[in-house]
Amino acid sequence: MIKQKKGMGQRMFKITYKKQLTDTIFMMKVRAKKVAESCLPGQFVIVIADDTGERIPLTICDADKKNGTITIVVQVVGASTKKMSEMEKGDSFRDFVGPLGRPTDLLELKKSELKKKKIVFVAGGVGTAPVYMQVKWLHDNGIDCDVIMGARNKDLIILEDMMKKACRNLYICTDDGSYGDKGLVTDKLKELVAEGKGYDHVVAIGPMIMMKFVSLLTKDLNIPTVVSMNPVMVDGTGMCGACRLMVGDEVKFACVDGPEFDGHLVDFDGAMKRALQYKTEEGRAMLKLQEKETHHGGCRSCS
């Protein structure tokens, strides 16, 4: 992990580019040279807008080592992300910490092995951003893959042109049929498998409910599946205990043990229920009481 420091009283994490992708989603390039030089697909950063801003974990969409910039995609969901969305080119973030988390397991395989794999990515919402980082890395290393992108309607599809340049085939689905195929991403995946695509590896990143049903489908299809549990992260360091989840019979923390896990082992129902409960003070107190010594522990120092 690298935390770039401010020098001479000046902020160094300057926004060099900003583009509005939807009514509530923005893409920014931020100058963070050391983070750009060391980050890998699958990792994330912690961003703080100003002296009063909250810690916001954001997956990395792209990294430009030559220019020393990191591309992030921000969705407005609260006060801090609203404040971030109002920042413009030339403004600077108070802090930009990373890279955090474990890189994707795909990087552990030899390129010769990856070229033999038939990989499909399933992306939903802002999950398209970390999917792009992985797809681009594969493309840059001569490895083809397919991508299925889903959203409620055409206006919520993001990064389409960038994704087209990086993947072999891009399939777009919208719930209302306003763009691409009408239906869910699981419908499209099932259709492609029935057509004989023969995928042997699935990576699903997006809303938890989407990842849950992709994992249920691929379990039936016997296709190994990886999901990213970044939606449950709050603190990003393992100290708050917010991203505690069950993977098989083990307690894991998304920010330090992940964010990627075996989708067939993740307890999605438990994670979604816990995420809702964690939003209230009384809910956090109850979780602490129920989980005892395992409530925290991602930082490995509480015990």
Radius of gyration (C-alpha) of the chain in whole angstroms: 19
Q: Which of 77, 100, 123 is the last residue of a domain?
A: 100
Query: What pLDDT is recorded for position 7?
Result: 43
- pLDDT one-digit tens code per residue, 55-108: 888 889 999 999 999 999 998 888 888 888 898 999 999 888 889 888 998 998
Task: Assess whether 76 and 117 both reside in one domain.
Answer: no
The answer to whether residue 92 is domain-embedded is yes
Task: Assess whether 220 and 191 both reside in one domain.
Answer: yes
Query: What pLDDT is recorded for position 6?
Result: 47
Give the range of the structural domain holding residue 41, as residue numbers without chain letter. 2-100
The answer to whether residue 303 is domain-embedded is no
Q: Three-state DSSP class for 303?
A: coil
Query: What pLDDT is recorded for position 286?
Result: 42
Query: What pLDDT is recorded for position 280?
Result: 41
Q: Count structural domains, the chain.
A: 3
Rounded to two decimals, the pTM is: 0.84
Alpha carbon distance 141, 119 (integer Å)? 14
Q: Which of 45, 76, 100 is the last residue of a domain?
A: 100
Task: Assess whether 219 and 127 both reside in one domain.
Answer: yes
Whats the size of the chain, residue-wise? 303
Query: What pLDDT is recorded for position 298?
Result: 43
Task: Assess whether 155 and 212 both reside in one domain.
Answer: yes
Task: Assess whether 114 and 215 both reside in one domain.
Answer: yes
Beta bridge partners of 27: 19, 73
**In Å, what is the CA distance from 148 to each residue of 26, 114, 214, 290, 301?**
21, 19, 11, 39, 40
**63 is written with which tokens?**
């990294």
Task: Collect the ranges in the chain with pLDDT lower than 70.
Answer: 1-11, 231-242, 274-303
What does the DSSP 8-state code read for residue 105?
G
CATH, residue 87: 2.40.30.10
Query: What pLDDT is recorded for position 303?
Result: 36
The answer to whether residue 32 is domain-embedded is yes
Beta bridge partners of 148: 122, 171
Query: What pLDDT is recorded for position 234?
Result: 64
